[in-house]
C-alpha cells in the first residue's frame, strides 16, 4: 500500500490508456508522456501496461508501506528523497517499508512519472486504470490521505538508467486535414511558420496555443465530427489548440491538421510560456 501524504496540484493514476472506446464517446486518457511512464515501468520490472502516477508540476510526498523498488522519470524534479536521503531519477531505487518518498516540484517540464514495482493496482475501468479528467472515468485525482494498492512485482529491476533532453524550441510535425480547406492559404502557411506560445489555460484535455490568428475561408457552421489524439482544432477566436489524452471524442470546430503522436510527449512537457513551432509534412513522411 502507498499512503498519500501530499498529493500536490494534480497527481493522477495513469497507464497507457483505455483505447478502443471512442465510438462510445469514451476518451483514451492515459499518460500524456507515454514514453516516460513506459521507461519508469521498465526500470522497476513492470509490464508496459502497468499503472503509475503522473505528477503535475508541484511534486508529491508518499509513504510506502511495503519494501519495494520505484523509479522516477519525465520532468526532472528539483529533489527526490527517500527518508530525506537524496536519490536519482532514471534509476531503480529501493524503498524500505515505512519510508517516505518525497518528489519535489518539477525544475523543468510539467509532468513527472513514478512507477512502483508491481504497479498501482486500482480497479480497472474499461480495461484501464487511468484517471480521465474529462469524463470522470477511473480513479479521481489523488488527495492527501488517500491510499493506493500495489500489485505483486512481476520482474527484476533494470540494471541501467537513462537521461533525456529536449530541444530548446520544440518542433511538432503536423499533417494538414481533414478541414484545412476551411482556412485561407495564409492560415495554412502561418501554421507551419509562426512561433507559438503554450497557454496557461492548457490541461490534460488540450494544449492551447497563443499566436497569430488562423483565418477561416469558410465561415459555415460545422457539424460535430470525430476528434483524434493530436488534432489541431481552431475555435472561433482563431488560436489553435492541440488535443491531448483526455480529449473529447467529437468536436464542432474545424481541425486544420493533426500532430504526429510521437511529438505529443514533447508538447505535454512544455510549460505555459514555452515556445514551439510546427512543421507541415505529408502524411507518408510523418508516419514513417
**Cα-Cα end-to-end distance for the chain:** 42
Mean predicted confidence (pLDDT) in 124-139: 96
Q: What single string gives the DSSP state of each residue in 225-236?
A: EE--TTEEE--T
What the chain holds in terms of domains, given with CATH numbers, is 2-148 (no CATH), 171-286 (2.40.100.10)
Q: What are the tens digits of pLDDT across the range 154-181?
A: 988 887 655 555 556 789 999 999 999 9
Mean predicted confidence (pLDDT) in 61-67: 97
Q: What pLDDT score does 104 carry?
A: 98
120: pLDDT strictly greater than 90 = yes
Q: What pLDDT score does 24 carry?
A: 86
What pTM did the predictor assign?
0.94
Pairing assessment for the beta strands 100-103 and 111-116 based on DSSP bridges: unpaired
Q: What pLDDT score does 255 carry?
A: 98
Q: What pLDDT score does 158 carry?
A: 84
- pLDDT confidence of 149, banded at 50, 70, 90? very high
Give pairs for 120-123: CB < 8 Å, separation 24+.
Answer: 120/2, 120/13, 120/50, 120/51, 120/52, 120/53, 120/148, 120/149, 120/150, 120/151, 121/51, 121/148, 121/149, 121/150, 121/151, 122/13, 122/51, 122/148, 122/149
Amino acid at each position: 500500500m502507498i499512503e498519500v501524504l501530499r498529493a500536490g496540484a494534480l497527481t493522477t493514476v495513469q497507464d497507457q490508456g483505455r483505447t478502443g472506446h471512442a465510438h462510445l464517446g469514451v476518451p483514451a486518457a492515459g499518460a500524456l508522456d507515454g514514453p516516460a511512464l513506459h521507461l519508469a515501468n521498465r526500470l522497476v520490472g513492470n509490464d508496459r501496461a502497468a499503472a503509475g502516477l503522473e505528477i503535475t508540476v508541484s511534486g508529491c510526498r508518499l509513504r510506502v508501506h511495503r519494501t519495494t523498488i520505484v523509479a522516477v522519470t519525465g520532468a526532472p524534479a528539483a529533489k527526490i528523497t527517500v527518508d530525506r536521503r537524496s536519490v536519482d531519477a532514471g534509476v531503480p531505487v529501493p524503498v524500505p517499508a515505512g519510508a517516505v518518498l518525497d518528489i519535489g516540484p518539477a525544475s523543468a517540464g510539467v509532468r513527472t512519472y513514478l512507477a512502483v514495482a508491481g504497479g498501482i493496482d486500482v480497479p480497472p475501468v474499461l480495461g484501464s486504470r487511468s484517471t480521465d479528467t474529462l469524463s470522470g472515468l477511473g480513479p479521481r485525482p489523488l488527495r492527501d490521505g488517500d491510499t493506493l494498492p500495489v500489485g505483486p512485482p512481476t520482474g527484476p529491476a533494470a540494471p541501467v538508467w537513462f537521461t533525456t533532453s529536449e530541444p530548446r524550441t520544440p518542433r511538432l510535425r503536423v499533417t494538414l486535414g481533414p478541414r484545412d480547406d476551411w482556412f485561407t492559404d495564409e492560415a495554412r502557411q502561418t501554421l507551419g511558420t509562426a512561433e507559438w506560445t503554450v497557454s496557461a489555460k492548457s490541461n490534460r484535455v488540450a494544449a492551447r496555443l497563443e499566436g497569430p490568428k488562423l483565418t477561416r475561408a469558410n465561415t459555415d457552421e460545422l457539424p460535430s465530427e470525430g476528434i483524434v489524439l493530436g488534432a489541431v482544432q481552431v475555435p472561433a477566436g482563431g488560436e489553435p489548440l492541440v488535443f491531448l489524452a483526455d480529449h473529447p471524442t467529437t468536436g464542432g470546430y474545424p481541425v486544420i491538421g493533426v500532430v504526429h503522436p510521437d511529438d505529443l510527449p514533447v508538447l505535454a512537457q512544455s510549460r505555459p510560456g514555452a515556445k514551439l513551432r510546427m512543421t507541415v509534412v505529408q502524411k507518408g513522411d510523418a508516419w514513417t
